[in-house]
Chain A
Amino acid sequence: MTLDRWQQVSRIFKSAIDLDGEARAAYVVDQCGSDESLRAEVEKLLDSHRQANAADFMNGMAVEYVASMLIDDNDQKSQPRILKGQQFGSYVILDSLGAGGMGEVYLAQDSRLDRTVALKVLSHDISLDKRRMQRFRQEAKVASSLNQPNILTVFEFGEVDGLTFIATEFVDGETLRSHLHGKKRKLAEILDITIQVLSALDAAHEARIVHRDIKPENVMIRRRDGVVKVLDFGLAKFTEKKHSAMKMEESEAATAVKTAPGIIMGTINYMSPEQAQAGDIDERTDIWSTGVMIYEMVTGKMPFGGATTSHTIVQILEKDPPPLSKLAPVPDELERIVRKAMAKSPDERYQTAKDMLIDLRALRKRLDVEAELDRTSSPSTPVTAVATGETEQWTQKTKVLVIALIGMAVVTAAIFAVNIWRSSRAQTSAPVVTAAPPAAERTLTYWITVQKFKDKKPYQEPFTLAGEINFETNYQVRVIVRTPQGGHLYIVNEGPESDRPEFVVLFPSSTANGGSSSLAASQTLQIPEKSWFIFDPEQGVEKVWLVFSEEALPEFETIREFANRKGLITDPARNEAVRNFINTYSAAKPAVEKGDKLTTLKIQGKLLVYPIRLEHH
């Protein structure tokens, strides 16, 4: 359309629009005369006008259209939005106290009541979860109303500019986390802190409130008098869903809270077995976590802490931590109390906080008496000191990796994978999984997790497969590999068969396993780490090549750089090298042992090369 024509059209259009029905039609005909194309142009535009009206087209603002996106993007970048001296509702922000998983915490002055408070401004995704927010408010209010001196008092819940905040009593002190600082504590102090924590829990449990997230970060010690305050009753509900294995009915909620991969959440190290398995949670979960906390205070170490989240969870579910007495001199009675608190089965734990409290108080009393006796007889043996002194450093021989910040997807996926692994192991008798093989043999176990997707959303429970089946295009998959022995693992994908196949690097990449091909014995690896593989819409057979070698393989070490660019090996020479390698070494076929849920591969020698065939249509 020329400019001239445009002006003609618009002149007729703007007058016609004020007319109705026949008058409008007549006007257009009259104005356009014999110019048929002009008339068609005008009529089409008038028709578009009508349709746009009917469709409510642009009836609002662009910002409404993309509001959620804007928030997501922004929240990834900048959490702290409130500055010193700013007014936030009826509060004046005095200082920032730090950031937690739930949001920012500020020191603030309540201008109405002229008192200093701690103001926790919840992060946006949490504020938006109204239903859970309601329950949280209710529980936090009840807990606070108990007036128990070891429970942090909540003053107010409110909302300013769509941000939910909680104003609580301000405790001038430090968290138990920073107090511990990786050091062992003296027994008297451990007992003192734990007894106060349990007093808070006892009162809360009486009111049928479970904390769900007892850990040193949620315990404050007041500087002035050493009084302990337990924080965030009820708040753990929000993180819990992220921790738990994915249940489908919850995936909607998970989407609502989805936000960014950078979402901050707490450590999994204090999680009870039932939490790790997404089972039913009651007061006894808090007992477990309190046990873990005592363990940490006594030994300076976490009882459970593997190199990966999956490892930690496996440990929580299955391993008994080394006895306290191996790591520090402790009374047998404390050993017994901790073991009972950390019984894998909730039924075998202390059933109430009160029971545990009674035992700890009795122990403290006994030790006090003994100390008194010691003081009068031989003052050189300080029975109540676990560590020799405050300055003793925790030697990090077996460094515990505390995973404090993990994307929720990683955790849910890892827990999920571990749960599958556990259930599959229970169902199949595949001794290879745990037994270390003789040196000249390579062995590897794998399975595939399949998630169905509909409209880009997962639906139905994911399921696992030992391997080769026909996949539907709406399936998305993960490959999970477990290595009973250490070695170097490489995984490449070969697209639908052709003479000169192209390979795509799946592992190692820059993210999974810290970018390294080197795996330890008994390591479980999920690929992709966070999301799922989708299939090409074209029909065909994909091969996922597992290459497991005792030594690092140069052909594969040099291609990992492609993994960060969607994996395709774009350098023909290196693609060729991989093809030759696979052609040569896949001739020796490993023994394949298929269980219901997993496949075990075994071969004599130092190298195992095997294709998982994924046929899709």
Chain B
Amino acid sequence: MTRIPRQHEITQLLAEWREGNQSALDELYPLVYDELHRLARRYMSRERKGHTLQTTALINEAYVRLVDQKNVHWANRSHFFAISAQIMRRILIDHARRHAYAKRGGGAQQVSLEEAAAVTPEHSMELIRLDEALKSLAERDPRRSQVVELRYFGGLNNEEIAGVLHVSENTVTRDWNMARAWLYQQLTGSGAN
């Protein structure tokens, strides 16, 4: 499935967003969503075949498909990565929330007999907790939080992150180590805060 018009569309939306049109971001959402879904599908299909997982390669492909690399200015491209990672995070957390919510029975009252809800992935709660921890990290350390967002949600490598954030690759590595250790601490409950 090639979507030639889409690349142009995204380039356009990015330009509009740069010029201050916030609704451009909302229009990007479904486009990124489609790519993300496609990525998930391919990921699952490879996993089941027992192939080595190369999500990075998959996500790079997704980006290439989304943006016409040749015609997008580097600055635009960085912005695009940043926005995409942000959108991907939003999508994944939305899904996780929906699943976790379904699991709790739609927040209904506990009654004597309750219909057993369908089994939902345990992972959704963990992802939600990670998202919340990441939010509090952003309050004290926006850059480290963004490194996590770009890497974990956006699938960017350190070099690309360095490009987006205008810092050295070394800094990205250090930021990542620190942020990840802190998040781990928060999620395992060993954090004193």
**Which A residues fall within an 8 A CB radius of B?**
1, 3, 6, 10, 13-14, 17, 41, 44-46, 48-49, 51-52, 55, 57-58, 60-71, 73-74, 81-82, 86-88, 124, 127-128, 130, 159-163, 255, 258, 453, 456-457, 476, 493-496, 502, 504, 506, 528, 531-536, 540, 542, 544, 565-568
Known: A6-B141, A532-B115. A14 touches B109 (CB 8 A): no
Docked complex Cα distance between A198 and B77 (Å): 61
Cβ B114 vs Cβ A44 within 8 A: no
B1 at interface by CB-CB < 8 Å: yes
Interface size on B, residues (CB 8 A): 71
Complex interface residues of chain B between 116 and 156 (CB less than 8 A to chain A): 116-121, 123-124, 126-127, 130, 140-141, 144, 148, 152-153, 155
Docked complex Cα distance between A62 and B192 (Å): 26
Chain B residues positioned under 8 Å from A506 (CB to CB): 113
Docked complex Cα distance between A502 and B44 (Å): 46
Chain A residues positioned under 8 Å from B124 (CB to CB): 66, 69
Cβ A58 vs Cβ B105 within 8 A: no
Cβ B96 vs Cβ A66 within 8 A: yes
Cβ A162 vs Cβ B193 within 8 A: no
Docked complex Cα distance between A534 and B181 (Å): 40
29 pairs of residues in contact across A and B, judged by CB atoms under 8 Å? A1-B140, A1-B192, A10-B141, A44-B185, A45-B182, A48-B182, A48-B184, A48-B185, A52-B180, A61-B56, A61-B155, A66-B124, A69-B99, A70-B91, A73-B98, A87-B2, A124-B41, A476-B116, A528-B115, A531-B115, A531-B118, A532-B116, A533-B116, A534-B114, A534-B116, A535-B112, A566-B105, A566-B106, A567-B113
Known: A63-B36, A63-B92, A68-B121. A49 touches B177 (CB 8 A): yes
Most buried by B among A68, A565, A566: A566
Cβ B190 vs Cβ A61 within 8 A: no
Docked complex Cα distance between A130 and B174 (Å): 42
Known: A63-B88, A66-B127. A495 touches B112 (CB 8 A): yes
Chain A residues positioned under 8 Å from B117 (CB to CB): 531
Interface stretch of the complex, out of B7-15, B21-29, B45-53, B158-166: B45-53
Cβ B48 vs Cβ A3 within 8 A: no
Cβ B123 vs Cβ A69 within 8 A: yes
Nearest B residue (CB) for A55? B184
Chain B residues positioned under 8 Å from A528 (CB to CB): 115
- Please classify the interface of chain B as helix (H, G, I), strand (E, B), loop, or mixed, using the class held by over half of its residues: helix
CB-based closest 4 A-B pairs: A162-B45, A495-B112, A49-B181, A52-B184
Known: A41-B192, A48-B190. A62 touches B127 (CB 8 A): yes
Known: A493-B113, A504-B112. A67 touches B177 (CB 8 A): no
Nearest A residue (CB) for B149? A62
B87 at interface by CB-CB < 8 Å: no
| Given pairs A14-B174, A162-B42, A536-B111, 11 additional interface contacts (CB within 8 A) | A14-B178, A61-B153, A67-B41, A161-B41, A255-B119, A476-B116, A494-B112, A533-B116, A534-B116, A566-B108, A567-B111
Complex interface residues of chain B between 163 and 181 (CB less than 8 A to chain A): 174, 177-178, 180-181
Docked complex Cα distance between A255 and B92 (Å): 23
Chain B residues positioned under 8 Å from A536 (CB to CB): 110-114
Chain A residues positioned under 8 Å from B193 (CB to CB): 1
Cβ B111 vs Cβ A495 within 8 A: yes
Chain B residues positioned under 8 Å from A17 (CB to CB): 174, 177-178
What's the minimum C-beta distance from B166 to chain A, rounded to whole angstroms? 18
Cβ A67 vs Cβ B141 within 8 A: no
What's the minimum C-beta distance from A567 to chain B, rounded to whole angstroms? 6
What's the minimum C-beta distance from B23 to chain A, rounded to whole angstroms? 22
Docked complex Cα distance between A389 and B106 (Å): 55
What's the minimum C-beta distance from A242 to chain B, rounded to whole angstroms? 16
What's the minimum C-beta distance from A611 to chain B, rounded to whole angstroms? 13
B39 at interface by CB-CB < 8 Å: yes
What's the minimum C-beta distance from A102 to chain B, rounded to whole angstroms? 17
Chain B residues positioned under 8 Å from A457 (CB to CB): 119
A70: contacting residue among B47, B92, B119, B148, CB under 8 A? B92
B181: contacting residue among A46, A81, A456, CB under 8 A? A46
B185: contacting residue among A45, A88, A544, CB under 8 A? A45
What's the minimum C-beta distance from A565 to chain B, rounded to whole angstroms? 7
Docked complex Cα distance between A212 and B95 (Å): 37
B111: contacting residue among A3, A41, A161, A504, CB under 8 A? A504
B43 at interface by CB-CB < 8 Å: yes
Known: A17-B174, A17-B177, A534-B113. A82 touches B1 (CB 8 A): yes
B59 at interface by CB-CB < 8 Å: yes
What's the minimum C-beta distance from A11 to chain B, rounded to whole angstroms? 10
Cβ B45 vs Cβ A66 within 8 A: no
Cβ A86 vs Cβ B1 within 8 A: yes
Cβ B88 vs Cβ A162 within 8 A: no
Docked complex Cα distance between A379 and B100 (Å): 73
Chain B residues positioned under 8 Å from A160 (CB to CB): 1
Most buried by B among A69, A453, A495: A69
B67 at interface by CB-CB < 8 Å: no
Docked complex Cα distance between A456 and B118 (Å): 9
What's the minimum C-beta distance from A254 to chain B, rounded to whole angstroms? 12
Chain A residues positioned under 8 Å from B190 (CB to CB): 44, 48
Docked complex Cα distance between A408 and B40 (Å): 25
What's the minimum C-beta distance from A45 to chain B, rounded to whole angstroms? 5
Chain A residues positioned under 8 Å from B48 (CB to CB): 128, 130
Docked complex Cα distance between A472 and B97 (Å): 31
